[in-house]
Amino acid sequence: MTSNRQKWLRILTGIIFFSFLILFATYTIKITREDQTDVFSDSVVSNETISQNNSDNTASLPTNESPKTETNPAVLPANPNLDVPFASQAPFAVWDPLHEDACEEASLLMLKHFEDTTSFGGNQAVDDEITNLVAWEEQNGYGPSITLEDLSIIAKTKFNLTGSVKIATVSKIKTELAAGNPVIVGAAGKILPNPNFRNGGPNYHMLVIKGYTTTKFITNDPGTRNGADFVYTYNDLFNAIHNWDADNILNGAKEYLVFK
């Protein structure tokens, strides 16, 4: 009898134990599924929130405005011609060695008077300024041909003018002139189409660009007494622009000097 009771007790205990295991397993699976549902639900809510935020941001932009806009380039004035005083490098038409190489000095002096809003006076005053500047350069180790970089240093040292040498394009030069800044350029003189030049023009030349028309640059060309407001077509002048190169002027860089 006792043996039968013990047998049934073991069976009942086993049934209770396995029932408990089944209930525990069922509860665990349910909790796991609920957790997974919560995770996926959070993801959906998050995506909806992002989508809504994007929609709100898009709606806040004006319908005729894009996120990135570009401005139109400034329209340049049609025919600027700056009031730069003119000086010939040989005001008395004496083409001795000093005056034959004085285009750099005459160009710099024209811009000095422009910056100072002063005039030259008569031919003697012009000649005095040129010869004095040449003498100063010789005393400071400069030769007869001067680069734009050297001329910028001379301008700073002698006249306290701050200049910079920049790469030349027709557009850049016109922009400088439109802003009220005349420029100095070096040039291969023999390819400059100026009928006033003697012997086909100088190998190296400097001149001031002071304005432009729709097709031409307006210059103060010191290489002739007729150089005030002398015009060159864009192509003719730009093709001739070369900074000083002792080996071959045609290898000189296309640059200009401007004071600001």
Query: For residue 198, what pLDDT is reported?
Result: 86
Helix then strand count (H, E) for the chain reads: 7, 6
Kindly indicate the confidence band of residue 72, based on its pLDDT and cuts at 50, 70 and 90. Answer: very low
From edge to edge, which strands make up the β-sheet containing 183-188?
163-167, 255-259, 183-188, 204-212, 216-220, 230-233
pLDDT digits (tens, 9 = 90+) for 8-19: 666 666 666 666
- Residue 57 pLDDT > 80, yes or no? no
Is the model's pTM score more than 0.75?
no
pLDDT digits (tens, 9 = 90+) for 197-234: 988 899 999 999 999 999 999 999 999 999 999 999 99
> Using an 8 Å Cβ cutoff, are 223 and 229 in contact?
no
User: How many other CB atoms sit within 10 Å of the CB of residue 241?
Assistant: 22
In this prediction, residues 229-243 reach a mean pLDDT of 98
- Residue 95 and residue 99: Cα distance in Å, rounded? 5
pLDDT digits (tens, 9 = 90+) for 151-192: 999 999 999 999 999 999 999 999 999 999 999 999 999 999
